[in-house]
């Protein structure tokens, strides 16, 4: 039986006194792109942050390749092979594009250099802006840099939180193309409000509602199920 | 003209000392978000250590080295034992660091007494030089040289090393640095100890300038360092350098032309910056988690 690369069972976490994630279970298998969908406040971003150890796990299990991530500090979770692109795609403004990418390197060897070359081929804009400070990049370029950073290491899974947020439609299309290309090499977990982007990239989905995972399935089937979309993904009930 | 030149040299020398104290404070505050009210303690202990070692060994330079070592060690111990448990808790940080300031100031008083101790300059730097026909105190030129060398060293560290990359990134988002697989806590220790060592060096260089070391000098100069950090911008090396220059030069001019306003002017400048640019002259609003 195929074992998931990442397994969450009844995960529970808080932001301050607020119990945001109240029972999220999901399994991610190697080579697939899983999209996490749901309304604002459903707990999607909180789930990703809990996986990365940025919020403490208060209940349930998180296992990466069979290893429990509970209680581990974020930097160790990242070294286990999780790449992370947060919601506001934090790239370091006082570093150049080159330095942002160098900072992300866990080891400096020929394989890392190979992955760097691949990332720059995928995002030619970054090649052009290589010595520019990240503060001077456009919104789309910043998102590309944040994604490129996760490709530098041999990450088992890449977690991406709302990559289309704040971007012009033409840039969203470019990001989607890039993610479809990245999916060929990496396992993805994508949180996304842009349904079209989620459907273009995703293989399977999980829907969160009020901090719990309530539905899961194949993205192609969700695309055709308007009733399910209206029930869990539309504005208001 | 002679007066202005002398005031310029005095102001630059004062700027160098303020920079040594403020540089570490700025990075600690900017990168770690720590309000370190014990920073003046390192300045104080740097002064006392250098005077004591100089008296014991006859070597001013050994005194400086000892001051840096003591300051760095104090910073390492403070960070590991007292600061690390309260990361993210501002009130606790303020109380703990104020407490450390009081305790270690009293400890210094216990060790070296309540009265001021004389602090001598080394004979090598105890004279005057003549520049453009104007007699300048040698020791002040030395301070300017040290300040410049430290500034260049910090600039190279921040802009040419991996540690510097982590520091620049950590000023914006320590959380994202962790998410890249970097144990930023280790860098925090280095930054804190480094900042403390700089403050101690500042203290060791300050006391021969004013001629004595006394237990209140840590708190007095710490306030000035905070003013510089506010004016220059937290976590900004350029801001700290510019802020130190601004305060040092302004202080020298005001102290000459209108001494009663010397203290008030610094606070007024800080207030003006806070009103018009709260992030500081070279600070920026982009700090995130």
Tell me A221's DSSP state. H
Cα distance from B193 to chain A (closest Cα, Å)?
22
- Smallest CA–CA distance, residue B164 to chain A, in Å, is 10
Which residues partner with A6 through β-bridges? A28, A64
A73 touches chain B (CB under 8 A): yes
The answer on pLDDT for B289 being more than 70 is no
Distance of alpha carbon B254 from alpha carbon B237, whole angstroms: 25
Residues of B in contact with A75 (CB under 8 A): 178-184
CA dihedral sign of residues B11, B15, B16, B18: positive
Look at A115 and B256; give whichever has higher pLDDT: A115
Beta-carbon count within 10 A of A4 CB? 18
3-class DSSP state for residue A117? helix
Contacting A residues, span 16-55, partner chain B, CB-CB under 8 Å: 52, 54
Q: What is the pLDDT of residues B206-221, one digit of tens each?
A: 999 999 999 999 988 8
HSE, side-chain direction, 13 A CA sphere, residue B116: 13
**Average pLDDT over all residues of chain A:** 93
**Global pTM?**
0.84
Q: Measure in Å the smallest separation between the Cα of B83 and chain A Cα atoms.
A: 18
Mean pLDDT score, B155-174: 90
For residue A22, pLDDT beyond 90: yes
- Cα–Cα distance, B125 to B122 (Å, whole number): 6
Q: Closest Cα to residue B195, out of B30, B61, B82?
A: B30
Confidence band, pLDDT 50/70/90 cuts, at residue B286: low
Do A208 and A24 touch, CB atoms closer than 8 A?
yes
The confidence score (pLDDT) of residue B251 equals 87
Q: Nearest-CA residue of chain A relative to B168?
A: A94
Residue of B nearest to A92 (CA): B169
Closest listed residue to residue B73, CA positions, set B28, B226, B65, B285: B65
| Helix H or strand E encompassing A47 | helix A44-51
Q: What is the pLDDT of residue A237?
A: 42
- Smallest CA–CA separation between A88 and chain B, in Å? 9
Q: Do A74 and B182 touch (CB under 8 A)?
A: no
Q: d(Cα A108, Cα B272) in Å, to the nearest integer? A: 47
What is the reported pLDDT for B41?
A: 95
Residues of B near A (Cβ–Cβ under 8 Å) read 162, 165-166, 168-169, 171-173, 175-184, 284, 286, 288-289
Average pLDDT over residues B149-174: 90
Q: With contacts defined as CB-CB under 8 Å, which chain A residues touch B177?
A: 103
Using only C-alpha atoms, chain B has a radius of gyration, in whole angstroms, of: 19
CA distances from B128 to A126, A147, B132, B248 (A): 56, 60, 13, 21
The SS3 call for residue A35 is strand
Q: Is A46 exposed, middle or buried (0-12, 13-18, 19+ CB in 10 A)?
A: buried
CA distance A85 to A182: 13
Q: What is the mean pLDDT of residues B187-207?
A: 93
* Matching residue, tokens 């404070």: B25
Partner-chain contact B176 A92, CB within 8 Å = yes
**A73-83 pLDDT, tens digit each:** 999 999 999 99
Best of A53, A69, A85, A90 to substitute, by most chain B Cβ atoms within 10 angstroms, is A90
Beta-carbon contacts of residue A58 (< 8 Å; ≥ 6 apart): A12, A13, A14
Residue A84 near chain B (CB below 8 Å): yes
Q: How many angstroms separate the CA atoms of B55 and A43, rounded?
A: 65
Phi, psi for residue B111 in degrees, rounded to 5? -75, -40
Q: Which of B27, B158, B180, B185 to mutate to test the interface with A (most CBs of A within 10 A)?
A: B180
Percentage of chain B exceeding pLDDT 90: 51
Mean pLDDT value across residues B142-164: 92
**Average pLDDT in the B143-154 region?**
92
Q: What is the pLDDT of residues A39-62, one digit of tens each?
A: 989 999 999 999 999 999 999 999
> Which of the two residues, B280 and A7, has the higher pLDDT score?
A7
Q: CA-CA distances (angstroms) from residue B66 to A144, B52, B63, B107?
A: 49, 10, 5, 18
Give dist(CA B205, CA B51) in Å, integer.
10
**Chain B nearest C-alpha distance from A230 (Å):** 34
Q: What's the rounded Cα separation, in Å, for the pair B203 and B200? A: 5
Average confidence (pLDDT) over B182-190: 91
What is the percentage of chain A residues whose pLDDT exceeds 70?
A: 98
Between these two residues, B28 and B149, which has the higher pLDDT value?
Answer: B149
A-chain CB neighbours of B168 within 8 Å are 92, 94-95
ipTM score for this prediction: 0.93
Instruction: Find chain B residues with C-beta within 8 A of A104's C-beta.
Output: 180-181
Look at the block and give the residue holding tokens 């708190």.
B219
CA dist A233 and B269 (Å) reads 53
- With CB atoms and an 8 Å threshold, state whether A73 touches B176: no
Is the pLDDT confidence value at B188 over 60?
yes
B184 and A75 in contact by Cβ < 8 A? yes
Report the 10 Å Cβ neighbour count for B227.
21
| Interface residue A15 vs chain B (CB under 8 A) | no
Q: A136 at the B interface (CB within 8 A)?
A: no
**DSSP string computed for chain B:** -HHHHHHHHHHHHHHHHHHHHHHHHHHHHHHH----TTHHHHHHHHHHHHHHHHHHHS-HHHHHHHHHHHHHHHHHHIIIIIIGGGTT-HHHHHHHHHHHHHHHHHHHHHHH-SS-EE-PPPGGGSSEEEETTEEEEHHHHHHHHHHHHHHHHHHHHHHHSHHHHHHHHHHH-HHHHHHTT--HHHHHHHHHHHHHHHHHHHHHHHHHHHTEE-TTHHHHHHHHHHHHHHHH-TT-HHHHHHHHHHHHHHHHHHHHH-GGGHHHHHHHHHHHHHHH-TT-SS--S----
The reply to whether A117 touches chain B by the CB within 8 Å rule is no
Closest residue, chain B, to A98 (C-alpha): B165
* pLDDT category of residue A236 using cuts at 50, 70 and 90: very low
Question: Pairing relation of β-strands A57-64 and A67-68?
Answer: antiparallel
User: How much is the mean pLDDT over chain B?
Assistant: 89
Phi, psi of A14, deg, nearest 5? -120, 155
Check residue B284 and give its pLDDT.
59
Long-range CB pairs of B163-168 (<8 Å, 24+ gap) are B163/B187, B163/B190, B165/A95, B165/A99, B165/A102, B165/A103, B166/A103, B167/B27, B167/B31, B167/B191, B168/A92, B168/A94, B168/A95
B179–A78: do the CB atoms touch at under 8 Å? yes
Residue B9 has pLDDT above 70, yes or no: yes
User: A120-146: per-residue pLDDT in tens?
Assistant: 999 999 999 999 999 999 999 999 999
* B78-91 pLDDT per residue, tens: 999 999 898 878 89
Cα distance between residue B220 and residue A101, in whole Å: 43
CB B273 within 8 A of CB B226: no
Contacts of B243 (CB under 8 A, 6+ apart): B22, B227, B228, B229, B231, B232, B233, B280, B281
């Amino acid at each position: 039986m195929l074992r998931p690369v990442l397994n969450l069972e009844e995960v529970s976490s808080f932001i301050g006194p607020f119990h945001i994630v109240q029972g999220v279970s999901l399994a991610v298998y190697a080579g697939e792109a899983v999209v996490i969908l749901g309304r604002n406040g459903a707990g999607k971003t909180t789930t990703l942050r809990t996986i990365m150890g940025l919020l403490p796990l208060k209940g349930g299990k998180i296992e990466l390749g069979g290893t429990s991530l509970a209680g581990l500090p974020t930097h160790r979770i990242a070294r286990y092979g999780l790449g992370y692109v947060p919601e506001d795609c934090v790239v370091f403004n006082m570093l150049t594009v080159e330095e942002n990418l160098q900072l992300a390197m866990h080891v400096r060897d020929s394989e890392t250099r190979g992955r760097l070359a691949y990332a720059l081929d995928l995002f030619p804009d970054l090649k052009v802006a290589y010595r520019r400070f990240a503060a001077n990049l456009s919104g789309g370029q910043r998102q590309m840099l944040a994604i490129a950073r996760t490709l530098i290491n041999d990450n088992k899974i890449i977690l991406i939180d709302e990559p289309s947020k704040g971007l012009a439609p033409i840039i969203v299309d470019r990001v989607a193309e890039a993610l479809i290309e990245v999916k060929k090499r990496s396992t993805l977990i994508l949180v996304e409000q842009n349904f079209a982007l989620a459907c273009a990239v995703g293989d399977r989905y999980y829907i969160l509602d009020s901090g719990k995972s309530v539905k899961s399935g194949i993205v192609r089937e969700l695309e055709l199920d308007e009733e399910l979309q209206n029930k869990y993904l539309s504005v208001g009930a | 003209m002679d007066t202005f030149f002398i005031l310029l040299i005095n102001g630059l020398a004062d700027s160098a000392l303020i920079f040594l104290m403020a540089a570490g404070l700025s990075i600690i505050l900017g990168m770690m978000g720590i309000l370190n009210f014990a920073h003046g303690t390192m300045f104080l202990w740097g002064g006392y250590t250098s005077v004591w070692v100089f008296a014991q060994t006859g070597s001013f330079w050994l005194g400086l080295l000892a001051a840096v070592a003591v300051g760095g060690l104090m910073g390492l111990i403070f960070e590991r034992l007292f600061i690390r448990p309260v990361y993210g808790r501002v009130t606790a940080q303020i109380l703990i660091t104020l407490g450390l300031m009081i305790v270690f100031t009293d400890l210094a008083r216990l060790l070296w007494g309540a009265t001021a101790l004389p602090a001598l300059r080394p004979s090598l730097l105890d004279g005057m030089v003549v520049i453009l026909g104007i007699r300048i105190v040698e020791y002040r030129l030395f301070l300017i040289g040290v300040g410049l060398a430290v500034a260049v060293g910090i600039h190279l560290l921040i802009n040419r090393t991996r540690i510097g990359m982590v520091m620049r990134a950590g000023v914006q988002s320590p959380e994202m640095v962790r998410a890249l697989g970097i144990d930023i806590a280790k860098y925090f220790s280095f930054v804190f100890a480094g900042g403390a060592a700089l403050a101690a060096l500042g203290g060791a260089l300050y006391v021969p300038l004013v001629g004595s070391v006394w237990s209140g000098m840590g708190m007095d100069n710490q306030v000035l360092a905070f003013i510089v950090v506010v004016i220059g911008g937290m976590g900004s090396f350029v801001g700290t350098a510019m802020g130190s220059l601004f305060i040092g030069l302004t202080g020298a001019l005001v102290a000459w032309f209108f001494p009663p306003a010397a203290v008030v002017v610094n606070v007024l400048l800080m207030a003006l910056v806070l009103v018009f640019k709260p992030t500081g002259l070279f600070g920026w609003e982009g700090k995130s988690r």
